[in-house]
Amino acid sequence: MKIVVSNPEDGKSYQKELEEGQAKTLHGKKIGEAVKGDGIGLAGYELVLTGGSDKEGFPMRSDFHGTSRKRLLVETGPGYRPTNKGERQRKSIRGNTIADDIAQVNLKVAKAGKEGLDKIIVSAPKTDKPAAPAPAKKGKK
C-alpha cells in the first residue's frame, strides 16, 4: 500500500510505500479519523485520513460507509466533476473504510513530529541527467 502524506504548513506532499505489517495498522480506519504515525514509520506525527483509492483506481468516498464498491448516482465529490448545473451520473465509488483492496491512502498532518517529513521519508535520488528532447512534429507544408 502506498501512502501520500500532505503537510499543510509547507504545501508539500510525500509518498511512501508501506510494508504489509505497517499497512495492517490502517485497516478498519475510516476517512476523517486521526491516526498515530508510529505504526507507519512516522514517529511523533498525528495524521488524519483524507481519502484514497483502490487497486483499480476507484476513489474512496467519505459519505459511503463500508469497504465495498458500488455504482452510486452522484452529483459532486471524489470521482465526478459535473459539467452542467444539476447534472448527475452513476459512478463506481469505494467505501470510506480501509481494507485489503485499497492501494493508496491520502493523509494530512494534524500534529507534526520532531523531525521533518523530508528527512523521515527518503525520496528517490534525483539524477542530473536532462530530460530527453521531444520528438519533432511532422506537419503539412
Q: What is the pTM of this model?
A: 0.79
Domain ranges of the chain: 2-115
Q: Using the structure block, give the residue that is written with the C-alpha cell 487497486.
A: 55
Q: Is 62 exposed, middle or buried (0-12, 13-18, 19+ CB in 10 A)?
A: middle
Q: What is the pLDDT of residue 32?
A: 94
Where residue 106 falls among pLDDT bands split at 50, 70, 90?
A: very high
Where residue 133 falls among pLDDT bands split at 50, 70, 90?
A: confident
Q: Does the structure show a pLDDT above 90 at 28?
A: yes
Q: Does the structure show a pLDDT above 80 at 122?
A: no
Q: Is the dihedral of CA 53, 67, 107, 3 positive or negative?
A: negative
Residue in 98, 94, 97, 95 with CA at minimum distance from that of residue 24: 98
Tens of pLDDT, residue by residue over 37-95, are: 888 888 889 999 999 999 999 999 999 999 999 999 999 988 788 999 999 999 999 99
Summary mean pLDDT of the chain: 87
Q: What is the pLDDT of residue 139?
A: 65
